[in-house]
Amino acid sequence: MLRSEAKKKAENKDRIVVGKAGAPQGIRGDIRVIPLTDFPERFEELDYVYVDDERLDIVDVKYHKQFVLLRFKQYDVRETVASLTGKLLMIDKKDAVPLEEGEYYTFDIIGLEVFDLEKNSLGHVTEVLKTGSNDVYVTSKKGEAKQLMIPALKAVVKEINVPEGRMVIDINMLEEI
């Protein structure tokens, strides 16, 4: 791996995705952004975002239907901002919205190793489904097609330890739900 590729991967690990660039809007360089955050209002507080390695300074934020309309200092006409379509907008992890105790970001949950109460590994969380009433953690073992669906309920999830990369569940509670 080239040094610049390794550096890029390391930088992206320290960033989180907050949106995906859609089509340009109007002629002044606005672009529609599909918010990929639980906090779409956060765009009003951002001074910049990253697209790939490029830092883009935000000069205007508006809301239109389900989109956030952004204008960047570096892209002031429709034709140039169109090159961003389909790309992910990221911020530094340190700038993430603070959460209450017991709340976690999806990116913190994905990858956790899941154990039962007897310390048997059940696999790793590969996806988090947003169902409305509660999240569901999709867990599987590497190389196996079988998935375990774990509802994010206190009766089932007994411990989440992000620094240690693990989650403990009461697998018996899955049968009762």
pLDDT digits (tens, 9 = 90+) for 19-57: 999 999 988 899 999 998 878 888 999 999 999 999 999
Written as six digits, the tokens of 148 are 């375990």
Domains and CATH numbers, the chain: 3-95 (2.40.30.60), 106-176 (2.30.30.240)
- What confidence score (pLDDT) does residue 1 get? 40
Provide the pLDDT for residue 98.
Answer: 84
State how far the alpha carbon of 9 is from the alpha carbons of 12, 52, 93, in Å. 5, 10, 14
167 or 104, which is more confident: 167
Nearest-angstrom CA–CA distance, 127 and 36: 15
6 in helix, strand or coil?
helix
**What local confidence, expressed as pLDDT, does residue 9 receive?**
41
Query: What is the model's pTM?
Result: 0.67
Which of 66, 62, 17 shows the shortest CA–CA distance to 37? 17
pLDDT tier for residue 4 given thresholds of 50, 70 and 90: very low
| Tens of pLDDT, residues 153-164 | 999 999 999 999
Mean predicted lDDT score pLDDT of the chain: 88
What pLDDT is recorded for position 12?
56
10 Å Cβ neighbour count for 93?
Answer: 13
